[in-house]
């Protein structure tokens, strides 16, 4: 379960001030409802994707004893 700032608070902040976990959570959430997003929702999702790409992405190719290969946003 996501525990963090909601979209109302985050929408008043620049995407580069968001935590990785917030970007990951809202990217996943918006990705699930992409067919139903209006133009504003699509724009927000695109900005989130661009910020993730600017940070170098979240893909992990190796797991270790504290984390798997997928980012967690809990």
**Each residue of 24-59: pLDDT tens digit?**
999 999 999 999 999 999 999 999 999 999 999 876
Query: Which pLDDT belongs to residue 3?
Result: 85
Query: Which pLDDT belongs to residue 14?
Result: 97
C-alpha distances (whole Å) from 15 to each of 12, 21, 39, 60 are: 9, 12, 18, 22
Query: Which pLDDT belongs to residue 7?
Result: 95
Three-state SS for 16?
helix
pTM of the prediction?
Answer: 0.78
């Amino acid at each position: 379960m996501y525990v963090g700032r909601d979209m109302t608070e985050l929408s008043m902040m620049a995407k580069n001030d968001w935590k990785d976990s917030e970007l990951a959570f809202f990217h996943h959430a918006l990705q699930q409802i992409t067919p139903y997003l209006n133009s504003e929702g699509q724009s927000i999702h695109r900005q989130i994707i661009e910020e993730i790409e600017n940070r170098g992405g979240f893909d992990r190719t190796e797991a270790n004893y504290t984390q798997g290969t997928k980012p967690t946003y809990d």
